[in-house]
Structure 1
Amino acid sequence: MVLDLVIIGLAIAVFPLSVTAFVLVLSARKGTWKGLAFILGWLACFVGVLAIVLFATDGKPPAARSTPSTASSAVKLAIGVGLVGYGWYRHRRGPRHNTGDEADGPRHTSSGGMMGRLDRISVWAATGMGPLLQPWGLVAAGAATVVEADLSHTSSYLALAVYCVLATSSLLAMEIYAAVAPGSAHDRLGRLRAWLQSHQNRALVAVSLTAGLFLVGRSVYQLAT
């Protein structure tokens, strides 16, 4: 369980779409407060999902080869296959290139419009964005893995805490940086946003294929043993 949660947590932390959205929130007016609200909403939903799973299992892992155990592995297998398929689709499609002045204009306008909308959203709206922008396929894979948690052991609590911190680590790092050094953070986050926009497709392919292949391999092994 621990290895699975570490890999899934890292994949959630670096998922390009979530990171890009959070960078945009931090770049908005009063972005530090909106970023904090985003993280609190993210964590509340994240912990809530884990709590529901643990309540359903009563903190006890299902017996090996039981129906719940097999269903958990089957869910992870399906998610893994879906991630591999999505990664392959993004790879085959390739990045969308805009050329010429005509293409540059709408892209710039779209980015400016997005920033304008983020400037106007409230802190409460930023809180709601956190759960909405989570990579729910990976979150579901994590929930299926948490079924194996045994709360009679302290190590399970530690594994769950590490999982939550890992999954939120990129957001926390950017939030702390923006709060401690807002001047340099603004420039660096701007460069990060530009890099993500130009390399987003490759990053999505890499994260989706890596996490998907891992989930497929682990699930097949668990179903076969």
Structure 2
Amino acid sequence: MVLDLVVIGVAIAVFPLSVTAFVLVLSARGGTWKGLAFIVSWLGCFVVVLAAVLLTTGGDPPAPRSPPSTAASAVKLAVGVGLIGYGLHRRRPRQRRDGRASHRHESSGGMTGRLDRISVWSAAGLAPLLQPWGLVAAGAATVVGADLSDTSSSLALIAYCVLATSSLLAMEIYTLLAPDSARLRLRRLHTWFRTHQEQALVAVSLVAGLFLVGRSIHQLTS
């Protein structure tokens, strides 16, 4: 369970779409407060999902090959296949990627203006919309195997939530401690994501998808 949660948590933390949006939120006027609201809402989604799973299982992991255990592995398999399909779909021919590059550049400028005007509450509402819910579902299916009577399992769940939020927390803390330097670096980070977002999406989707498919097949057949 721990290895699965680590890989899923890292994939969520570096998922390009949510990281790019958070950079724009943090770069807006009053960005630190908006970023904090985004993070609280983001973490709240994880807590709600994990609580729902643990209430369903009672914190007692199902036996191997039991229907709940098989269903959890099947969910991870489906998510893994979906991520692989998504990653392959994003690998468009170079002509199509180049054709959309200028469009993304223009839309990015418009998005920056819109996010600059959103309220703290709107930033909080944006977080659930930008979470990679396929990966969140894979994490929830993994949590089915958590044993709350074991302290290490409880610590693993806490670490998973922190890990999945680590990139946002790092940017928020950096902005609070060194706002001038953070503003410059966030601008560079946004520029990098704007020009490499397709490659990053493909890489994250394929790596996470292949891992989930391999793990779920092993769990279903062992």
TM-score, with length taken from structure 2: 0.95
1:78 aligns with 2:78: yes
Q: Distance in 1 between matches of 2:93 and 2:160?
A: 32
The superposition leaves residues 15-39 of structure 1 with CA deviations (integer Å, 9 ceiling, x where unpaired) of 0001000001011111111000000
Measure how far apart 1:96 and its partner are.
2.3
Match of 1:207 in 2: 204
1:25 aligns with 2:22: no
1:188 aligns with 2:178: no
Measure how far apart 1:108 and its partner are.
5.4
The superposition leaves residues 80-139 of structure 1 with CA deviations (integer Å, 9 ceiling, x where unpaired) of 00001111111245572259xxx85x6655333222211221101101111111000000
The SS at the match of 2:210 is: helix
Match of 2:3 in 1: 3
Mind listing any 5+ residue stretches in structure 1 that lack a counterpart?
Answer: none
Kept in 1: contact 2:105–2:194 (CA 8 A): no
CA RMSD of aligned residues (A): 1.5
Kept in 1: contact 2:104–2:194 (CA 8 A): no
The SS at the match of 1:96 is: helix
Q: Distance in 2 between matches of 1:69 and 1:213?
A: 20
The superposition leaves residues 175-210 of structure 1 with CA deviations (integer Å, 9 ceiling, x where unpaired) of 001111110111100000000010001101110000
Q: Distance in 1 between matches of 2:74 and 2:106?
A: 44
Mark the CA change 1:108 to 1:224 in structure 2 (over 3 Å): closer, same or farther. closer
The SS at the match of 1:97 is: helix
1:121 aligns with 2:122: no
Match of 2:89 in 1: 89
Match of 2:43 in 1: 43
Matching residue's letter, 1:211? A
Matching residue's letter, 2:109? G
Query: What is the aligned residue count?
Result: 221
TM-score, with length taken from structure 1: 0.94
Mind listing any 5+ residue stretches in structure 2 that lack a counterpart?
Answer: none
Q: Distance in 2 between matches of 1:174 and 1:97?
A: 30
Matching residue's letter, 2:185? R
Matching residue's letter, 1:144? A
Q: Distance in 2 between matches of 1:176 and 1:54?
A: 31
Over the matched positions of the two proteins, sequence identity in percent amounts to: 74
Q: Distance in 1 between matches of 2:44 and 2:118?
A: 20
Mark the CA change 1:19 to 1:34 in structure 2 (over 3 Å): closer, same or farther. same
Kept in 1: contact 2:37–2:124 (CA 8 A): yes
Q: Distance in 1 between matches of 2:52 and 2:104?
A: 41
